[in-house]
Every structure is written in structure tokens, then in C-alpha cells.
Amino acid sequence: MADALAPHGLVISSGDTADVGVGGLTLSGGIGWLVRQHGLTLDHLRAAELVTAAGEVIVVDETHHAELFWALRGGGGAYGIGASFEFEAHPAPTFMFAALTFPADRAEQLVPAWSRFMRTAPKEISSTMVLANPFAGGLDAPVEVTFARCDAGAIDDAS
């Protein structure tokens, strides 16, 4: 999805892995780096063409089958097969991404500070915290705490 939108200078909230399908991501939620600014992938959905269990092909949106459209956004594949989706996209901001990794014994000090920062951070900043063995290090490698931060157009001296 990101590959299709990028040449037009557009984005929507989507997941962090290109292999994940548009169908499951959209119908189940879709959490990505723009989530604090623009919500979930399902918040960008404006209409869908749906094949019902009866074999009918219908278009659902805010005015046609409105309750079904509401249920579709979060209901997964329970209400039919999404044959096509119409999304509202946003102009792509300038992205900056950073990740900082520390030994796990720093977590007690750093997690509360990170949590405090995120409570008042601009909506353009999304962040994750992972406490785990490093991907490449195997299970014997010491656990680390990694903070990843994505700035989607929020860069200023204060942040």
C-alpha cells in the first residue's frame, strides 16, 4: 500500500511490514507509525465493495449499509469478503526515524521517562518500546530495551 501511495506523495496509517495484506490489516485495525496523528488503517476507510455470504456484491459506506460499514471496521472477515477498498490518504510528511538501545538494567529508569515524554509529545511522534533479546543475538544474548521513535513532520528543537 505504501509503495502505491508514495509516488503520489501520499500516506495512510498502515502496519510496519510490507508483506501484511491490505484486507486483514484494514478490517482488523492496522496500527502503524502514523497512529497517533491519523488513527488506525480502518479510520482511513471511506468505502468497501463487499461480497456477502449470500453472494451479493454491495458497496458499503457512511450512507449505504451504514451499520455494516461501521461493523466492518474492526470486525475482521466476519461480515463478508472485501473485494475492494477506498481510502482517504494524507499528504506525506517528512519522516525521521531513530532507535536507541540500552542494556535492560536501564529499563527501570528509562521506561518512566519515555512514558512521561509520550504523554505530552506532539501527535506527529509515535514511539514503541521493546524489551527483548536482540534479533540477531539468539536467546543467550543479554536482554535489551529499545526505544524506536518516528517523527512524521514534527521535528523542532524541543522534541
Ligand X SMILES: Cc1cc2nc3c(=O)[nH]c(=O)nc-3n(C[C@H](O)[C@H](O)[C@H](O)COP(=O)(O)OP(=O)(O)OC[C@H]3O[C@@H](n4cnc5c(N)ncnc54)[C@H](O)[C@@H]3O)c2cc1C
Q: Which of 113, 136, 150 is nearest to 33 (CA)?
A: 150
Question: Which residue's CB comes closest to ligand X?
Answer: 24
Stretch that binds ligand X, among 24-32, 112-120, 129-137, 139-147 (CB under 6 A): 24-32
**Which lies closer to ligand X via its Cβ, residue 6 or residue 51?**
51
Buried b / exposed e over 121-143, threshold 16 CB at 10 Å, is: beebbbbeeeeeeeeeeeeeeee
Assess 137 for contact with ligand X (CB under 6 A). no
Sign of CA dihedral 10, 15, 20, 26: negative
Q: Which of residues 54-83 bind ligand X (CB under 6 A)?
A: 76-77, 81-82
What amino acid occupies position 84? S
**5, 10, 23, 59: which one contacts ligand X (CB under 6 A)?**
23
Sign for the pseudo-dihedral over CA of 120, 121, 126, 129: negative
Q: Which stretch binds ligand X (CB under 6 A): 3-11, 26-34, 95-103, 143-151?
A: 26-34
Q: Which residues bind ligand X (CB under 6 A)?
A: 15-17, 20-21, 23-25, 27-32, 76-77, 81-82
